[in-house]
């Protein structure tokens, strides 16, 4: 399996799906993963950042996670797993602006289309 790149305006573009399973309060490393997403975007890649399991804890609008706020301003698509949100009673109405609830099917779609996948 070689890297599949999509064409966008005549330029080959890498696709990434980055899956964040930990909350920034359970792992001190989450900020680095957010930063990596921004850096891959800066390289020109299309990046989907998928929050799952405790990773969705940072998605509440009232959660204090400056690193996630920075990611949200970086032209990266940020999604939150709908099951993980429901499991933690986080309603879609209280998500940070820029975080959208999503089915896990999106991850499968991205894998099926050749996106490089990183799990944290």
Partner 1 sequence: MARYLSIVDSAYRATIEEQDDTAVWFTHAMKNAGADVSILLRGDAVNYAVSNQDAKGLRFGNRAVKGPDMVRDINAVIAKKIPLFVVSDDVAERGIPASLLLPGIEQIPRSAIAKLIDNHDTILTW
Partner 2 sequence: MATITIGILDPPYESANTPTAFRLVEAAIRMGHNVNVFCYEGATALGYAGQKQHPNAVHGASLEEEDHPNPKDWVKALLAFAAEKNVKLVWCNCGLCVDERGVESQVEGVCRGSPGDAWKYSEGSDGVLLIGTE
By CB under 8 A, tell whether 115 contacts partner 1.
Answer: no
Q: Which of 8, 12, 43, 91 binds partner 1 (CB under 8 A)?
A: 43
**CB of 30 vs partner 1, minimal distance in Å:** 12
Q: Which of 16, 20, 21, 90 binds partner 2 (CB under 8 A)?
A: 21
- 80, 68 contact by CB (below 8 A): no
Q: Which is nearer to partner 1, 92 or 108 (CB)?
A: 108
**DSSP-derived secondary structure for 33-89:** HHHHHHHHHHTT-EEEEEE-GGGGGGGBTT---HHHHHHHTTT-EEEEEHHHHHHTT
**CB of 52 vs partner 2, minimal distance in Å:** 6
**DSSP-derived secondary structure for 99-111:** EEEE-THHHHHHH
Question: What is the contact surface with partner 1 in residues (CB under 8 A)?
Answer: 1-3, 14, 29, 32, 36, 39-40, 42-43, 45, 116-120
């Amino acid at each position: 399996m070689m890297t599949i790149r999509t064409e966008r305006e005549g330029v080959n573009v890498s696709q990434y799906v980055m899956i964040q399973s930990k909350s920034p309060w359970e792992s001190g490393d989450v900020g680095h993963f957010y930063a990596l997403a921004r850096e891959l975007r800066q390289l020109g890649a299309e990046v989907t950042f998928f929050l799952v399991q405790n990773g969705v804890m940072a998605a509440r609008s009232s959660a204090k996670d400056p690193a996630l706020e920075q990611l949200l301003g970086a032209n990266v698509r940020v999604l939150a797993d709908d099951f993980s949100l429901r499991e933690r009673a986080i309603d879609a109405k209280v998500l940070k602006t820029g975080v959208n609830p999503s089915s896990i099917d999106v991850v499968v779609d991205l894998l099926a289309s050749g996106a490089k996948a990183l799990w944290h």
